[in-house]
Amino acid sequence: MENIKEEIENKIIDCINSGIAGRLIIFKPEKNNFGADLSVQRRGKYKEKEIYFQINSFVAPAEAVNFVKEFPQESFKADKNFYLLFVYFNEVTQKMSDYVWLIPSLQLQDIIQVIKSVDGKNILRFEVPLDVKQKNQYSKFLINTNDLGKTIFRAMEKGGKFDFKNTEFEEKKIINIENLKDFLCNARRDTYASSSTSLDNPRLLESKQFEFQKADYFYRDIYFVGDKKFIGQEIIYLDSKPVWGMNYMGDQIEKIETAFLKESLSKLAEKCRIGGTCEYEKREYKYQDQGQGNLEKFSGKEEIFVDNKSIYKLNYEGGLI
């Protein structure tokens, strides 16, 4: 257990050092009045009074629901320069959580739960759900470990004053592959394959650009046309976040072959350019797509043949981002 405690302390030191380029001095004090594990100072001529941190770790398996830490009220000392860090450590994965609770001792003494021990003494009980998205009286003290050093440094610049803001958690939508596929097929049919006109003001100079939107999904296809080749990229956004993409590069062909290509892409939208194998023939023309994989990760090559002679090739690769 002592080894885990030291490991957690070292990880916290690494988190504080991260992103502040050595502007803070961090050390383990030999003696102090608070039972602190770390002391932090500003480096150089801006050196100010130390602030102290006590690290309270909760070592538990992944199935644990709550973070619980108890300590005697009589041993707790509050001071404007004394802060408590509450850290969850998963004993199975041997990893520290991405969030810690950084609480000023003066504020903690006003909000922490006080219970009675069996011998009648007051015990301070810190208890929070390990699901940090659940709101409680400690939520505003949550800090991402990646921001810990910058948060402490900003506080040192303000004489030890921390600005606590409620942490916002981004809800990650689960991607339904079938819905994504249906949207992609509709987007392709409605844009390039339908011979619709590209945007007048594309985002990239000298490019061709198509866009399609339905509900929370948004599709953008941007490509560049050269003398012999064209190269492009398709991207799908879900709630303004890129979730899927495909890169492609193919040969330039004449208008009549281009019309056949668009017809093939429209008729075979559920199979072509997503890892499937498919064919379509019309008179002397034959479209063929040889792909591997699925919508999550795929690659392939499509060709057009005229009288069994290959006149066009396109290579593609894509998948979930």
Query: Are 36 and 143 contained in the same domain?
Result: yes
166 found inside a domain: no
Task: List, for residues 69-104, the tens digit of each pLDDT value.
Answer: 998 999 899 998 899 999 998 887 888 899 999 999
Note the pLDDT of residue 45: 52
Helices 148-157, 2-17: crossing angle, 10 deg rounding: 60
Tokens describing residue 317: 């690769």
CA 36, CA 253: separation in Å to the nearest integer? 73
Between 154 and 174, name the one with better pLDDT.
Answer: 154
149 found inside a domain: yes
Task: List, for residues 5-37, the tens digit of each pLDDT value.
Answer: 888 999 999 988 887 767 888 988 887 778 899
Q: Which of residues 157, 190, 209 is at a domain's end? A: 157
Tokens describing residue 39: 């002391």
Query: Are 111 and 153 contained in the same domain?
Result: yes
Query: Are 184 and 124 contained in the same domain?
Result: no
Note the pLDDT of residue 44: 66
Is the backbone of residue 113 left (phi > 0), alpha (psi -120 to 50) or beta? beta
163 found inside a domain: no
Question: What type of residue sits at position 61?
Answer: P
Which H/E stretch holds residue 144?
strand 142-144
The range of the structural domain enclosing residue 87 comes to 2-157
DSSP 261-273: HHHHHHHTTTTTT
Query: Are 49 and 110 contained in the same domain?
Result: yes
Residue 116 belongs to domain with CATH number? 3.40.1350.10
Closest CA to 13 of 5, 302, 78, 158: 5
CA 229, CA 220: separation in Å to the nearest integer? 20
Query: Are 190 and 293 contained in the same domain?
Result: yes
pTM above 0.85, yes or no: no
* Burial class, 262, CB count within 10 angstroms (exposed 0-12 / middle 13-18 / buried 19+): middle
Query: Are 136 and 21 contained in the same domain?
Result: yes
169 found inside a domain: no
The count of structural domains within the chain is 2
CA 42, CA 177: separation in Å to the nearest integer? 51
Query: Are 128 and 15 contained in the same domain?
Result: yes
Model confidence at 1, pLDDT cuts 50, 70, 90, reads low
Q: End-to-end CA distance of the chain: give it in Å, rounded.
A: 40
Query: Are 181 and 296 contained in the same domain?
Result: yes
Query: Are 69 and 146 contained in the same domain?
Result: yes
CA 144, CA 207: separation in Å to the nearest integer? 40
DSSP 258-302: HHHHHHHHHHTTTTTTTT-EEEEEETTEEEEEEEEEETTEEEEEE
The answer to whether residue 282 scores a pLDDT higher than 80 is yes
Query: Are 148 and 190 contained in the same domain?
Result: no
